[in-house]
Chains A and B, each alone.
Chain A
Amino acid sequence: MSDQVTTPSLSRRRLLGSAGAVGLGLVIAACGSDTKDAALSNSTGTGGTTPGSATTLATPGTSGATTAGTTAPTDGGSVDLKVAKLAASLEVLAVGTYKAALDAATAGKLGTVPAAVGEFVTTAMSQHQAHLDAWNKVLTGAGETAVTEPNATLKPTVDAAFGKVTDVTGATMLALQLEEIAAATYNNAQSVLTDKDAIKLAGSIQIIDAQHAAILHFVLGDYPVPDVFAKVDMAAAA
């Protein structure tokens, strides 16, 4: 396992880049033009609460943050639902990918699977299913249809990447990418969510996904807390 750790077969940036989903997109895409305009007008001071605040969160280590303005968009309901759909689609993708990894491991396609890794996959899959259920509850509660399909933007790339996985390290790296995308997406969503329950739910799930990522870093031989501030540049776009 250790020698495999040093030979990454997947590039996080490549995964995101080829999927056309590198950060920044959620705020703008989720808000739509009306909200975008509203958010931009907020940044001019009509609704802002931060004297002299910039339109971007200039926090060390958070490249690509896209907070537009300092107050939440006005058409929060539709934005919240867009975020919920995006989140649910990512959770479907995560559950499906972990399931595929379990199936591959069971079929002996990944070699010997360490007990801790097997336990991780089972636990993470279960937790992502719980996250999916939570978002679908939000959606159906608002009269929307539950999301059952994986994120259409990322799915082809993840499938292609998974097709190249031949061992536990490769599967672990792919899992890390998905967890970091999810955590960044939830972090980024804080800039557009308006419903208090949705804000709390996204925050709660961000925590668990970030913790998944920390343990995966450790398993891959890396320091488990690599950033001073959680990054949002890997956030998925709606």
Chain B
Amino acid sequence: MKLLHRNKDQIDEGQLEELITESQDLHLDAMRDTMAVLPNLRDLAADRRRQGAQLPTAPELEAFSDARSALVRTLGLAAGGIAGFGALTALLSRPAAADTALDVQILQTAVSLELLAVATYGAALTLPFISDGNPVIIKFAQTTMDQHDQHRQAFSAQTKALGGVDQTATNPKYTPIVEAAKPTLAAPADVVALAATLEQVATETYLSDLNMFTDVTSRVLMASVMGVECQHLATLRAVGALLAGAPDLIKIPIGADVAKLPAAAGSVAFPDAFEGVAMASPPQEGAVK
């Protein structure tokens, strides 16, 4: 339907009036139906939370989201510009319990990344060039594996606190990548590079997640874990650089040999003033299906 005749720059007022009437009818119908259902949805969500019942699963949320988006698009096309439509859109944009469900998905994905990190460091420690290699790298792998396991426990506990189901599987996107990389690991630098990738994914995922949380406790917990994963990443970057040029300087305490460190050791661990989120995993990636 063309409302504006380009050549004449005139609005077809008859067609516009017809469209407005049609839009108002759609709007009223949608308002009536939606307002009738929303209280029930809120009550249902509250009941499910009180009973500790499982929150909507990822596919359920996705389906709901798709349906909601389609409805919003349909109504948006038909009823755009109608007064009061914004309020309806806002209501439809915030389904009952969906925010908590998103929090749960974020935490489940975090658990999946932590599980994969634990498994990867564990596998690395079985490699002879690691287990028989530099003691600092061995200690780092052991300590970091333990720290990731504690992160996993904390995220799992928080998942359950929000009424969600604990994730027990490793991350579905990066597990195949790690498995494919394992046969190619031939030297400590290979392991460090792989671990750095996982640490960067975790760091950026958690950074990306922070402002999606509605639950502040979850957000603070994630920031606390993020502050440690980024230090793992910084250490791996520094170790990776030293492996390439001065492996003997990978020692703690470094002592007087700090004077032998290449200048780049003072900046390689934090190449940018701000951390990005390009490698962040979306909340749904590791959610329980």
A positions within 8 Å CB-CB of B:
1-3, 5, 49-53, 57, 59-62, 65, 67, 69-72, 112, 114-123, 126-127, 130-131, 134, 183, 186-188, 190-191, 196-197, 199-201, 203-208, 210-215, 218-225, 227-232
Contacts and interface: CB of A to CB of B under 8 A. Distances in A.
A199 B220 CA distance: 11
13 contacts: A1-B256, A3-B256, A51-B50, A52-B161, A59-B221, A60-B154, A62-B224, A115-B261, A115-B262, A204-B275, A215-B266, A223-B252, A225-B147
B95 to A, nearest CB: 14
A237 B255 CA distance: 35
Contact of B227 (A115, A117, A199, A206): A206
B230 to A, nearest CB: 4
Contact of B273 (A62, A208, A218): A208
A119 B265 contact: yes
A119 B143 contact: no
Interface of B: 49-50, 52, 99-100, 103, 139, 143-144, 146-147, 150-151, 154, 161-163, 203, 206-208, 210-211, 214-221, 223-228, 230-235, 238, 252-259, 261-267, 269-270, 272-275
Kindly list the 8 A-B residue pairs having the minimum CB-CB distance in the complex, ordered from nearest: A230-B227, A221-B253, A2-B255, A119-B266, A120-B266, A116-B261, A130-B273, A211-B234
Nearest to A201: B274
A230 B274 contact: no
A210 B227 contact: yes
A223 B99 CA distance: 39
A211 B231 contact: yes
Nearest to B253: A221
A67 B231 contact: no
B234 A214 contact: yes
B156 to A, nearest CB: 13
A5 B253 contact: yes
B215 A131 contact: no
B235 A119 contact: no
B207 A196 contact: no
A49 B163 CA distance: 10
B25 to A, nearest CB: 36
B228 A114 contact: no
Nearest to A130: B273
Contact of A225 (B231, B264, B266): B231
A50 B162 CA distance: 5
A204 B52 CA distance: 35
Contact of A190 (B147, B219, B270): B219
Contact of B211 (A5, A196, A213): A196
A65 B218 CA distance: 13
Contacts of B263: 115-116, 118-119
Given A116-B258, A116-B261, A204-B275, A67 B217 contact: yes
Contacts of B257: 2
A211 B230 contact: yes
Contacts of A131: 273-274
Given A114-B259, A205-B274, A49 B267 contact: no
Contact of B228 (A3, A126, A191, A225): A225
B162 A218 contact: no
B216 A67 contact: yes
A65 B220 contact: yes
B224 A229 contact: yes
Contacts of A201: 274
Nearest to A60: B150
